[in-house]
Structure 1
Amino acid sequence: MVTVGFHASHEQLRPSDALAAVRHATAAGFQAAMCSDHLAPWSARQGESGFAWSWLGAALEATDVSFGVVSAPGQRYHPVIAAQAIATLGEMYPGRFWAALGSGENVNEHVTGDRWPDKPTRDARLLECVEVMRALLAGEEVTHDGLIRVDRARLWSLPEQMPALVGAAVSAQTAGIVGGWADGLITVNQPLDTLERVIGAFRDGGGDGKPVYVQVHVSWAPDEDTALAIAHDQWRSNVFSSELAWNLAFPEQFDAAAEHVTPDAVREPVLVSADLDQHVEWLSAIAALGVDGLYLHHVGQRQDEFVDAFAEHVLPHLTGNGMSTGAERNAS
C-alpha cells in the first residue's frame, strides 16, 4: 500500500501555522506527515525555522497519523541527544514516529563553530552516529571515541517499539550506502530515470524489501502563472547541485546564488502546474517505481488551498492505486 503524506516545511511556515496546516491536511485525507529540521531557512524570503523536535510532540498529539523528520546528527546534535529525542517520541507515540538521518548541510551546522567536514568525513561520521544511536535505543551503555565521542551514555526512557531509522539520500552513490544500515530510504523527486537509479542503488545496497519514501516538491495554484510565481519566489534557492547546497553557510548566500535563476529553471526540482490532472500523472509515475510513501510539499507559504484541492481532486485518483483515504482509514 502506498501512503500519501503531507510535508510541513519549517523553513517556510511559523510553527503554529505548520501545526494548523498538518491538522487540516490529515483531517482532509492525507494519511501521514513529515517535517524538515532546520536551524536556518534556505532563503531570507522563506523567513522561518522552528525547532522540529518540540513541534513534533505537539503535532503527534494533535493528530492520529505517523510522522517522520529528516535530521542530521553529528554536529549541531550530539547523537546521544538525537537518540534521546527519538526515544521519547517513540515511547509516547508507539509506531507513529520515524527519523530519517542524513549527513547535514552547513547552513544549519556551522553555528557550533566546528569545521564543516568534507562529504566523505560527514558520511563516516553519520555511520558512527547511527551505530551509537542504535545501541542507545537498544538500552545499551555506550562509550565511543572516533569522529564523535561518547562517554558512558545510556537512555533511561526507552520505547517498547523501536522507531525506524531511515536514511536520507539524493544520489545513487549515497543511497547505496544507506541501503546497508537504514530501515528505509527517504529521497526527493528527480527525473524518473534518476529516481529509479537512486531507488535501485538503495535496494542493491541492502535495502531490498525496506520502505522507500519520496518527498515531492509541488507548486499548485488555480492559474499557471501564479503556480510558477510561487515556486520561483520560494524555491529558486533550491535548484543547485548538492555540492553547493551542502556547503553554503547562510540564507543570504543562497539568495545571492539564486539571483539569476529564471522561473522556468524551478520546474525541474518543483512539479509546477495549475492542472490537477497533470499532478495526478506525475505522482502516479513516481508511485509506479515501487514507492511506499509520497510526501507532498507545496512550496508556497499558504497551504489551505493546496490541501483542499489535492484532497478533493488528486488523492482520490492515487487511492485507486491501493491507498485508503482518511475517511476510509478512520472507518476501518
Structure 2
Amino acid sequence: MTVFGFHASHEQLHPRALLDAVIHAERVGFDAGMCSDHFSPWSARQGQSGFAWSWLGSALQATTLPFGVVNAPGQRYHPAIIAQAIGTLAAMYPGRFWAALGTGEASNEHITGDGWPRKDVRNARLRECVEVIRALLAGEKVSHDGLVRVDRARLWTRPEQPPALIGAAVSVATARWCAEWADGLITVNAPLPHLRQMVDAYRDAGGRGPLHLQVHVSWAPEQVEAERIAYDQWRSNVFPPPVCWDLETAEHFDAVSADVPMATVERVVNVSADLGRHVGWLEEYLALGFDQIALHHVGQEQGAFLDAFGAEVLPKLRAR
C-alpha cells in the first residue's frame, strides 16, 4: 500500500511551526514525513530556511512517523559528516529514517565560496560521496582522494541496519544514472508522460527499491485563494534545469520570476479548491507505481490543508 507523507518545507515555515505541522499531520492520518536540506529559500517571500538535521531529531522524537531528507553532499557538506548525521539518526530511530542524495543547487552550495562545478563533475562528486557514506555506514575505516578527500574516517556510532540511500532526480537521464547506485528513486510531480519515462528508465536500468514522489499542491476553500497562495509562494520554483540548479540567491529567483504567468505555476503545482480534483491527480500518480507520495502544500499556513486532506483525500485514496 502506498505511504502518504507530509513534506515539511523548511524554506517557508519557522522550524517550530513546522514541527507543530508535522505533529498535526500524524494526528490527521499522514503516514510519514520528509523534508529537503536547504540553506536558502527560493524566494524572499518564503522567508525561512532552518537547519534540517537539527529539526529532524526533534520531528522523529515528537512523532512516530518515518522521515526522509533530501541532501547534497560534496560541497556544503563533507560526506563523512553526512554519514555521521545519517548514522546517528538511524541508530536513534531504527527503521524510521532514509536519506535521498542529489547533486544540489548553487543557491545552497555557493555559500562555501568554491566554484559551482559542471553537472558532470557534480555527478562524479556525488558518486564518490555515496561510496564514502556507504563504506562508513558499513563500519569501514575510509581514506579517499578524489573530488572529495577523506582521511582515516570511521563512524563510531552506527545503526544496526544502514538506512536506504535514495537517488534524487528530475530528468530521465538522471533517473537512469541513479539506478547504478541508489536504493530507490525520488522525484517531484511533473506531467504524467515524463514521470512514466522516469520510472521506466530507473526500473529498466535495474533500479531497485521504493519510488518516492513529492507533490506540490495548493488548496484553499476558494479557488481564488488557492491560486493566490500558489502564485505568491511558488512562482519562483517553476524553472527547469539548468536554471534552478545555477541561480545563486533568493533575489535572483525573485528577479527572474517577476513576470511568470499563473499558467506556468499551474504546470508545477496542482492548484484547486476542489478536493475531488486533488484525489484524481493523486490517483494518476498512484497508477504509475509510486510507493510513497509526500504532499507539499505550498502555503505558509498548513492547518486547514492538513485537516481537509486528512479527512477527505487520504481516506478516498486508501479506499481505492
Both proteins in one fold, TM over 0.5: yes
Q: Is it true that 1:172 corresponds to 2:203 in the alignment?
A: no
1:180 positional shift: 1.1
Amino acid at match of 1:7: H
Distance 1:151 1:5 in 2: 38
CA RMSD, Structure 1 to Structure 2 (Å):
0.6
Alignment match, 1:296: 295
TM-score of the pair, normalised by structure 2:
0.99
The alignment partner of 1:206 has SS state of: coil
Alignment match, 2:281: 282
Distance 2:109 2:100 in 1: 17
1:170 positional shift: 0.5
Distance 1:62 1:193 in 2: 38
1:60 positional shift: 0.1
Alignment match, 1:327: none
Alignment match, 1:213: 212
Distance 2:5 2:160 in 1: 25
Alignment match, 1:9: 9
1:206 positional shift: 1.9
Structure 2 stretches of 5 or more lacking a match?
Answer: none
Alignment of 1:118-267 (within 5 A): 118-208=118-208, 210-267=209-266
Amino acid at match of 1:277: G
Amino acid at match of 2:10: H
Measured against aligned partners, the alpha-carbon deviations of 1:195-229 in whole angstroms (never above 9, x if no partner) come to: 00011111112214x20010000000001111011
TM-score of the pair, normalised by structure 1:
0.96
Alignment match, 1:330: none
Distance 1:158 1:294 in 2: 28
Distance 2:32 2:78 in 1: 28
Amino acid at match of 1:249: E
Percent of residue pairs bearing the same amino acid type: 63
Distance 1:264 1:29 in 2: 32
Distance 1:65 1:288 in 2: 24
1:264 positional shift: 2.1
The alignment partner of 1:242 has SS state of: coil
Distance 1:186 1:243 in 2: 18
- Conserved? CA contact 1:229–1:263, under 8 Å: no
Q: Count how many residue pairs are aligned between Structure 1 and Structure 2.
A: 320
1:320 positional shift: 1.1
Distance 2:117 2:36 in 1: 22
1:95 positional shift: 0.1
Structure 1 stretches of 5 or more lacking a match?
Answer: 322-332
Alignment match, 2:90: 90
Alignment match, 1:34: 34
The alignment partner of 1:167 has SS state of: strand
1:161 positional shift: 1.6
The alignment partner of 2:242 has SS state of: helix
Amino acid at match of 2:279: V
The alignment partner of 1:11 has SS state of: coil
Amino acid at match of 1:33: G
